[in-house]
Structure 1
Amino acid sequence: MASVVSSQALYCFFSTPEITPRFRVRVQSGSGGGNSKVSPSDSTLVSGEKDKKVGGRIDSWNASLKGGVKKKSVKNVISGDLDVLWDDGYGTKTAKDFFEGAKEMIRPDGGPPRWFCPTECGQPLKDSPILLFCPGIVGVGLALTLHHKALGKVFEVRCLHIPVNDRTPFEGLVKFVEETVRLEHASSPNKPIYLVGDSFGGCLVLAVAARNPEIDLVVILANPATSFDRSQVRSLIPLWEALPDGLYNALPYLLSFVMGNPVEMARVNIEYRLPPRLQIEQLFQNLIALLPHLSDLVDLIPKDTLIWKLKLLKSAASYANSRLHAVKAEVLVLSSGNDHLLPSGDEAQRLKRTLKNCTVRYFKDNGHNILLEDGVNLLTVIKGTGKYRRSRRIDLVLDFIPPSMSEFKQGYDEVIGLLRFATGSAMFSTLNDGKIVKGLHGVPNEGPVLLVGYHMLMGLEVYSLVPEFLREKNIMVHGVTHPVVFRERQGVSSPEFSLNDWMKVMGAVPVTASNLFNLLSTKSHVLLYPGGAREALHHRGEEYKLFWPDQQEFVRMAARFGATIVPFGTVGEDDVAELVLDYNDFMKIPVLNDYIRDANRDSIRLRDKSKGEVANQELYLPGVLPKVPGRFYFLFGKPIETRGRKEEILEDREKANQLYLHIKSEVERCIAYLLKKREEDPYRSIVDRTVYRALHSPLHEVPAFDP
């Protein structure tokens, strides 16, 4: 862990002897006041034993979905030290753990504000950036409880603890955090520094960012309190000052419902695949267990502390707002739609308009304490919005973090669960001897592997293909996709975490020569569609027709790295939807045709120099009518080795072209095979598959035709 410099070594596990040493602690005083003064000097790191309650036992994630993810462990070839479908711990800790930990830490110890690292964070990957967390009004610094394990894998995590009796003014806290930021920047000038601010902490990190525009900062704001002046809480300060102590004791119960959403807090560890009745029972039990802890807010925020912190919050909001124009940092705002404490939705829009580089993600069901509630995995949001990097510039390949088991479950079950259920994909592959078998056994486990195939209507097959490789082989397939997926959405006032964000979490990268180069050089499995957008947005009557360019550059790139090329075909789009309005139809409709032209005029253009139909890359949303779903079928052809043929293919363009045409013909052969064989499938209809599932097995085990 990189050092934090302080002027005097102060070893502290908090002064109360009953507290088990559960945190690695650094103590460093702020210059603006507080109960003890420690002038800056050399760093001190004190490691406490992991106790069983916090740092020890963590309930393991179910290593398989219904039907099973293979137990085989496959290292991610990019991160090197992090397995695909790794355990990020999300769901093993809840708001109850936050209250229990906060109750121990809240006891006065006479110390100043300090940094600590929960032992749950563990040891991060090599060259991980530092993440400094600044808490909300409570100040204990444990609001990342649900995220400690995940963040600790890819960040050096430190959390700010502000003791309950501390009275350091806001400027003093700013200088305290700023000193740490500057020292970290001096020790690692080429690494970004992540500042995460929750509510009040959002004002704190914005103030630090405004004062240090020359430092590479990534600022993440969770319902920042910069909107305090427009909240109802501000007008209640005089009332709370006059409130008798007896009435104040009842206030935390009301305050807890205002500050957060107890139902969303109680949902964190509920399995989505449970039957609705069992989910409701578990939710009720969780709420019953959580409610007694709400009274702990009396201890966490005594009356005098609450009045002080509300005045501190007023000062913080004013300070931060007056300096927003100076913020040059990359900013990500997490905004709740159910925040009854602050107008966070409107504030996120204001910050996006004011700050120069600001991204917003809106979570409509969450309350003020968004980091303690269900549906917001902080690391997932950072990854999905493209904010994770280890150096000044992001490398979408080398900075990629493989999906965790909880991300796979959420993406697989919630996001694309309905499509997966409706299409019931059947996978077939070809062994080296030419035999076709059920499953993906014929696709090599060792990379680099280039999967080259047909893009169905709107690319629907991707949402089955990538998860199936994860489920059956624990292999991360990186799709190279149109750059429009990576563009921030314009004109959306409250953008939610979307399917495009999930595509990034699941390994998609923009289709560029450099990204393909990096993926193959790291021996990855890469998904490539030569037909691109023209194939995925084909016209009526063009189903299963390939639109490939004349150039065979991917063949030459594969040969350069000795990659194995696996051609594949997929069918089923005509069993799911009927294309009724294509591009030609839309261009005949007044107003709508102008809208499509304007949208494409501003979009990124690919293959401008290509010839033929593949050069037509106009983007639009086709008009389709859904059908009673049939089934998706995939056939991966016999692997084609390029190892040992580098010189031959790179130097002889004719031989490269012959290989290119061979791959194309293999894709067409796979499509023809599937179109014929699917007629023999007794479970092609969703009705037949549903009945079979109810009587026999999970979705992926529903049989198809005999290959």
Structure 2
Amino acid sequence: MSDIEPVATTTADTALTDGAPLRMSLNENDIRRLEAFAAPIRAWTSPVFHGLSNIPADGPVLLVGNHNFLGIDTPVLWPELARTRGRLLRGLAENVLITVPGVRHFLQSIGCVRGNRENCRTLLEEGEMVLVFPGGGREAVRRKGEKYVLKWEGRTGFARMAIETGAPIVPLAMIGADDIYDIVFDGDHLAMRPVRMLVEALGLHGTLTPPLVRGVGPTLVPKPERFYYSAGTPIDTTPWADAPDLDRAAADLQAVVRKALEEELRFLFAERERDRGRTLWGRVCGAIGL
């Protein structure tokens, strides 16, 4: 990935902990590169978007989402938000990804930074649109029976950053990615012990052991499930700004955001039930008028 050209132009010196550019701007060529990168996923999943107009067109905003299987559904967001909201999405990437030179170069070229509180606060103070998954890597590395389960226990850092910077929070629900594969053995299964040992040898927590999966039939080709996205009503964080106990305020705000995100997820599940285009066959039939 190290030979991929940057898709955005740096306009200021870096002030981020991983050396990523602080300010980046978009032009038409940048957006086309983003669209080209996401094109295979978009073509296979025919994504549907709801409520993107809820995302402010300027000023700081924290998009808080559910992290689905390995984050496969997130690349589609970059060109979609660039087209509909005219903004570059700044993602908070896992530390393990930022440590890999080629991966780091690519992620930083599309606006991602190392996922820590310092970078999140800095970007919000600069008026950026930031995407965060409070569940982190553990939420993306699913176990059996964990489809679309929020793993947010003790995760209040995002709420604290929003309170401290006064940034509104927009809950961003996504479904589809947890359905493109079936888990054969999850990371806790005895059969995955060698993989778990390798993960731990790399310095990662054992809970990040990826599952053994299958897609179409016995293959790794992902099922052509449609991806669905929904941005909810912005949550004003200023009522928590003067709270005497910031830790308690962050926990209270986290609960509010979690409830709002779960409501958006329920909305998408209902939309999917009504959508005959959820499957590839349904989309083909619709395209030919059947």
**Secondary structure in 1 matching 2:24:** coil
The 2-side partners of 1:654 and 1:412 are apart by 41
Structure 2: gaps (5+ residues): 217-222
- 1:402 matched to 2:6? The reply is no
The 2-side partners of 1:662 and 1:519 are apart by 23
1:389: how far off? 5.6
2:255 matched residue in structure 1:
661
1:548: how far off? 0.6
Sort the Cα spacing of 1:507 and 1:390 in 2 relative to 1 into closer, same or farther, 3 A.
Answer: closer
1:471-510 paired onto structure 2 within 5 Å: 471-488=83-100, 501-510=105-114
Q: Which moved more, 1:420-429 or 1:651-660?
A: 651-660
The 1-side partners of 2:18 and 2:198 are apart by 33
Over the matched positions of the two proteins, sequence identity in percent amounts to: 26
* Larger-Rg structure: 1
User: Are the equivalent residues in 2 in contact too, given 1:454–1:529 (CA < 8 A)?
Assistant: yes
**Secondary structure in 1 matching 2:49:** strand
**TM-score under structure 1 normalisation?**
0.37
Sort the Cα spacing of 1:596 and 1:662 in 2 relative to 1 into closer, same or farther, 3 A.
Answer: same
- 1:622 matched to 2:244? The reply is no
Structure 1: gaps (5+ residues): 1-359, 364-375, 430-439, 490-496, 604-615, 696-707
| Alpha-carbon displacement from aligned partner over 1:273-306 (angstroms, at most 9, x marks no partner) | xxxxxxxxxxxxxxxxxxxxxxxxxxxxxxxxxx
2:229 matched residue in structure 1:
634
User: Are the equivalent residues in 1 in contact too, given 2:181–2:215 (CA < 8 A)?
Assistant: yes
Sort the Cα spacing of 1:618 and 1:405 in 2 relative to 1 into closer, same or farther, 3 A.
Answer: farther
2:271 matched residue in structure 1:
677
1:563: how far off? 0.7
Q: Which amino acid aligns with 1:419?
A: I
User: Are the equivalent residues in 2 in contact too, given 1:397–1:518 (CA < 8 A)?
Assistant: no
1:510: how far off? 0.7
1:678: how far off? 0.7
- 1:568 matched to 2:172? The reply is yes
User: Are the equivalent residues in 2 in contact too, given 1:456–1:536 (CA < 8 A)?
Assistant: yes
User: Are the equivalent residues in 1 in contact too, given 2:240–2:249 (CA < 8 A)?
Assistant: no
User: Are the equivalent residues in 1 in contact too, given 2:91–2:113 (CA < 8 A)?
Assistant: yes
Sort the Cα spacing of 1:513 and 1:589 in 2 relative to 1 into closer, same or farther, 3 A.
Answer: closer
Runs of 4+ in 1 over 4 A off after TM superposition: 388-391, 690-695
2:116 matched residue in structure 1:
512
1:673: how far off? 2.1
- 1:596 matched to 2:199? The reply is yes
1:554: how far off? 2.1
1:540 matched residue in structure 2:
144
Sort the Cα spacing of 1:455 and 1:617 in 2 relative to 1 into closer, same or farther, 3 A.
Answer: farther
Sort the Cα spacing of 1:542 and 1:442 in 2 relative to 1 into closer, same or farther, 3 A.
Answer: same
Q: Which amino acid aligns with 1:427?
A: F
1:688: how far off? 3.5
Sort the Cα spacing of 1:617 and 1:482 in 2 relative to 1 into closer, same or farther, 3 A.
Answer: farther
Aligned residues: 281
1:447: how far off? 2.1
1:591: how far off? 4.2
The 2-side partners of 1:394 and 1:674 are apart by 35
Q: Find the partner of 1:522 among 126, 129, 133.
A: 126
The 2-side partners of 1:465 and 1:487 are apart by 23
| Alpha-carbon displacement from aligned partner over 1:627-680 (angstroms, at most 9, x marks no partner) | 4412111122221112364113x6454444222211111112221221222110
User: Are the equivalent residues in 1 in contact too, given 2:55–2:85 (CA < 8 A)?
Assistant: no
1:598: how far off? 0.9
1:416 matched residue in structure 2:
38
User: Are the equivalent residues in 1 in contact too, given 2:196–2:209 (CA < 8 A)?
Assistant: no
Q: Which moved more, 1:652-661 or 1:559-568?
A: 652-661
1:456 matched residue in structure 2:
68
The 2-side partners of 1:657 and 1:626 are apart by 38
User: Are the equivalent residues in 2 in contact too, given 1:455–1:535 (CA < 8 A)?
Assistant: yes
Sort the Cα spacing of 1:593 and 1:529 in 2 relative to 1 into closer, same or farther, 3 A.
Answer: closer
User: Are the equivalent residues in 1 in contact too, given 2:61–2:169 (CA < 8 A)?
Assistant: yes
Sort the Cα spacing of 1:578 and 1:551 in 2 relative to 1 into closer, same or farther, 3 A.
Answer: closer
1:298 matched residue in structure 2:
none
1:289 matched residue in structure 2:
none
**Secondary structure in 2 matching 1:470:** helix
1:574: how far off? 4.0
Q: Find the partner of 1:555 among 159, 165, 172.
A: 159
Does 1 or 2 have the higher relative contact order (CA < 8 Å, sep 6+)? Answer: 2
Q: Which amino acid aligns with 2:262?
A: E
Name whichever structure is richer in helix by fraction. 2
The 2-side partners of 1:564 and 1:647 are apart by 15
Q: Give the root-mean-square deviation of aligned CA atoms.
A: 3.0
The 2-side partners of 1:645 and 1:574 are apart by 34
The 1-side partners of 2:18 and 2:70 are apart by 28
User: Are the equivalent residues in 1 in contact too, given 2:13–2:21 (CA < 8 A)?
Assistant: no
User: Are the equivalent residues in 2 in contact too, given 1:568–1:634 (CA < 8 A)?
Assistant: yes
Sort the Cα spacing of 1:574 and 1:457 in 2 relative to 1 into closer, same or farther, 3 A.
Answer: closer
1:407: how far off? 3.6
Q: Which amino acid aligns with 2:277?
A: Y
**Secondary structure in 2 matching 1:478:** strand
The 2-side partners of 1:480 and 1:574 are apart by 21
Q: Which amino acid aligns with 1:478?
A: R
**TM-score under structure 2 normalisation?**
0.84
The 2-side partners of 1:652 and 1:504 are apart by 31
User: Are the equivalent residues in 2 in contact too, given 1:403–1:506 (CA < 8 A)?
Assistant: no
2:242 matched residue in structure 1:
647
Q: Which amino acid aligns with 1:536?
A: A
| Alpha-carbon displacement from aligned partner over 1:447-502 (angstroms, at most 9, x marks no partner) | 2111112100101121122221012111111111101111135xxxxxxx66x543
The 2-side partners of 1:407 and 1:532 are apart by 28
**Secondary structure in 1 matching 2:257:** helix
User: Are the equivalent residues in 1 in contact too, given 2:197–2:206 (CA < 8 A)?
Assistant: no
Sort the Cα spacing of 1:658 and 1:629 in 2 relative to 1 into closer, same or farther, 3 A.
Answer: same
The 2-side partners of 1:623 and 1:447 are apart by 42
Q: Which amino acid aligns with 1:598?
A: A
**Secondary structure in 2 matching 1:583:** coil
1:395: how far off? 4.1
The 1-side partners of 2:270 and 2:87 are apart by 29
1:572: how far off? 0.8
User: Are the equivalent residues in 2 in contact too, given 1:561–1:643 (CA < 8 A)?
Assistant: no
Sort the Cα spacing of 1:594 and 1:418 in 2 relative to 1 into closer, same or farther, 3 A.
Answer: same
Sort the Cα spacing of 1:589 and 1:517 in 2 relative to 1 into closer, same or farther, 3 A.
Answer: closer
Q: Find the partner of 1:467 among 70, 79, 84.
A: 79
1:508: how far off? 0.8
